[in-house]
Amino acid sequence: MTAVGFRWERSSRAVLADALMRLGPNRCVAQVRPDEILLTEPPARRQRAGTAALLECGAALSTIWTVVRVLCHEPEVAFPYDPDRPDVAAVVRVGDVRTASDGEWARYDALRKLGEPGHDVKLQPVSLAVLGALAAEDFWPDTATPIVRPDWAPTLAHLGADVTGQSSLLITTPGDSRRHHVLAGAALHSTRLAAAVRGFSSRVLPIRAPGERARDVEESLLPGVPHAVLLVGLATPKLRNS
């Protein structure tokens, strides 16, 4: 139930805008209304970025969720389909009051730490225990973040994601709808936050578009529809040849 009396005023809007700006220039468009936020996917952007645009909407959804929690409220997420507004990917409203936990404050602080490591940076692998702990923190519905198994590597390589010698997680959903893509993006971003809280860096490897990957997925051993691979590790500069 939407919290009575909560409105996105100047101060809360400023906190939200600062967090969303950290997603970069390709972020999803967030239309902030007094009592709700619409995440929209403009047609031009959809044509340019394809399903990646929905993953970016998911990253915005995760960011908004994080901000609402440190504002000490429960986020309420809906995925409406309005023929008059086909660009609306998700709607976030502010629900009941609930104090934010230390972990949620840590995730909010981690918003400042996210960023793709440069090409001159190598990710040193982490333990399976670390990967397992990150996978266990996924709370988004209809998503899973299993540790990548060695026998998945050939299929993932064919889908454009080379995981050789890397510590990696696979972001999956049971379906391939627009809602599933947004949720996958939210799970991906949230897992990156969880890694940053622990002091690890992460890099995203995209998966080929659905139309190109359908047969590969059906014939593979992958546990669901793959959306992205997340590499996790300790960032260290690559050694230069002398």
Query: Tens digits of per-residue pLDDT, 161-203?
Result: 999 999 999 999 999 998 999 999 999 999 999 999 999 999 9
| Contact by Cβ (8 Å): 180, 225 | yes
Alpha carbon distances (Å) from 120 to 24, 96, 116, 235: 21, 45, 11, 10
Compute the mean pLDDT over every residue in the chain, rounded to the nearest whole number.
88
Q: How far is 67 from 191, CA to CA, in rounded Å?
A: 16
- Reported residue count of the chain is 242
Q: Which domains does the chain have, with CATH numbers?
A: 10-108 (no CATH), 117-237 (3.40.109.10)
Q: Which runs of E-coded beta strand occur in 80-186? A: 88-97, 121-124, 168-173
Task: Say what the pLDDT of residue 44 is.
Answer: 64
Question: CA 20 → CA 15, 111, 162, 239, 242, distances in Å?
Answer: 9, 9, 29, 34, 41
Model pTM score: 0.90
How many CB atoms within 10 Å of residue 198? 14
pLDDT per residue, tens digit, the chain (242 aa), is 555 578 999 999 999 999 999 887 667 889 999 999 999 987 666 656 567 888 999 999 999 999 999 999 999 999 998 787 888 999 999 999 999 999 999 999 999 988 777 666 889 999 999 999 999 999 999 999 999 999 999 999 989 999 999 999 999 999 999 899 999 999 999 999 999 999 999 999 998 765 555 555 665 688 999 999 999 999 988 666 54
